[in-house]
Amino acid sequence: EDFMKEALDKASGELKKRYNQADKKAAKIIAYGAVKYGLLKVSPEKNVVFNWQQALSFEGETSPYIQYAYARISSILKKSKKTNLKADLKLLKEKEESELIKLLSDFPQIAAKASKDLKPHLAANFLYSLAQKFNEYYHIHQVLKADEKVRDARILLISSVGQVIKNGLALLGISVLEKM
């Protein structure tokens, strides 16, 4: 009880620091996600050393970092207005696009193994890698300002990344936010 109150207070403080306001619902989702991810990202045979500042950070291997990648994708998709499900994915020729596609293709096996072997840290670590790869991609390549056909392919790609992040966090019992 006190532990979760502390988590909520810290998440609210982090939101106030970043955005000058704290939405209670967002703070709760971030706080619960931070606690769950902080515990689940560690292999079951290792001891967990829980650090609030680290767990609630929007940088590094944390739930807020992954949730923020999802929120960024949601924002791009909202601005794009539509996802062309028939986009030509052959136009995705950049190294970072290939890396994202490869990671996405690994998700079903990782999710199955994490579930079968009762090792949620496999899914947690995968989601962090996916969020990292998305952020790297986003900083290097234009999505909304690319030529129309490339733009459509990139929107479909990041939409897929967002869906996998949402599904993967759901496996860990963590919710996402459309904006943070």
Is this prediction's pTM over 0.75?
Answer: yes
Radius of gyration, alpha carbons of the chain: 17
* Distances from the Cα of 172 to the Cα of 12, 24, 125, angstroms: 22, 22, 11
pLDDT score of 48 more than 70 = no
Both structure tokens of 38: 């902080």
- Chain segment 129-164, per-residue pLDDT in tens: 999 999 999 999 999 999 999 999 999 999 999 999
> What one-character-per-residue DSSP string does 135-154 give?
HHHHHHS-STTS-HHHHHHH
Q: Who contacts 82 (Cβ-Cβ below 8 Å, separation ≥6)?
A: none
Residue 176: Cβ within 10 Å count:
23
Residue 103: Cβ within 10 Å count:
18
pLDDT at 153: 97
- Chain segment 71-126, per-residue pLDDT in tens: 999 999 999 988 999 999 999 999 999 999 999 999 999 999 999 999 999 999 99
